[in-house]
Amino acid sequence: MTMLYRGLIELHDSLYFATREIGRLYETEAVLHNYALCYALGLVDSDRYATTVPEEQGYRYFCAEQVPKYAEHLTPLNDRGIYVTPARAVRHAAQLNTWKYADNRYHVEMTKTQKNIPSFGRTKEIAAESIFECFLIATQALNLPQRQWIRLGKWMSKAEVRWEKLPDLRQGNGSFTCAYPLNPLDVMLSHRVLSYDVINMPPVSLIQNVHLSGQYYEAGGVKLPAMGYRFE
């Protein structure tokens, strides 16, 4: 039996990741990608892909290469009947921070260079106490914690997640408009997508204000397409 859970994510630190780079301004979009959420929520079976190193080194796992393996890591969630949507901001504020670093040429041989290497930049981050909303679709009941602590973004910012199960879920099939951001790879093959707005962000741009036709779930005033992770 399919279950639909709502997750409210409250930031306890400012959140930064580079959605857009405009000159020396690095901007964070007020949307959390569902790939990032799967890792942050601990849904990826890291034990399966990790290499154990000696405990005396102070690390439990070692990542030999910095290469994304989203298909390899997330496809098993389809077998477990778990899908997490991207998260949209329910309430948020932005803050600007300036960073800079010193010229460390005194560490190397003094040679002339014509390279224009920036020594400062600005980040537009999502401020603490901002709240995001995501949904988790599961084909069976999950024992989710009422309160869960996770880390997000480049700074590994602390965030609190509170879960609630939405009541009276029903399934339908037809045309509807989804008010929440979606990953287009996960709906384009299974639904007829009629119109949408694009949210440009890596690794896969998201879509919002989506008008589509196909199978959907509805509970607690929330209507979402039936989705699974796709990488084709």
Distance, in Å, from the CA atom of 29 to the CA atom of 165, rounded to the nearest integer, reads 27
User: Quick one: pLDDT at residue 21?
Assistant: 87
Domain 3-50+67-102+120-225 -> CATH class: alpha beta
Concatenating the DSSP letter of every residue in 52-64 gives: E--GGGT-SEE--
4 falls in which pLDDT band (50, 70, 90)? very high
Residue of 1, 3, 74 whose CA lies nearest to 222: 3
pLDDT for residue 55 is more than 50: no
In this structure, of 11-25, 70-84, 101-115, 135-149, the range with the lowest mean pLDDT score is 101-115
Give the mean model confidence (pLDDT) for residues 176-204.
Answer: 95
Give the β-pairing of 120-126 and 25-27: parallel
User: Quick one: pLDDT at residue 117?
Assistant: 60
Give the mean model confidence (pLDDT) for residues 66-81.
Answer: 91
Q: Tell me the per-residue pLDDT of 80-96, one tens digit each, with 9 for 90 and over.
A: 999 999 999 999 999 99
Residue 29 makes CB contacts below 8 A (sequence gap 6+) with 19, 20, 199, 201
User: Quick one: pLDDT at residue 108?
Assistant: 53
CA dihedral 214, 217, 218, 222 (to 10 degrees): -90
pTM: 0.84
User: Quick one: pLDDT at residue 33?
Assistant: 97
Domain ranges, ordered by start, for the chain = 3-50+67-102+120-225
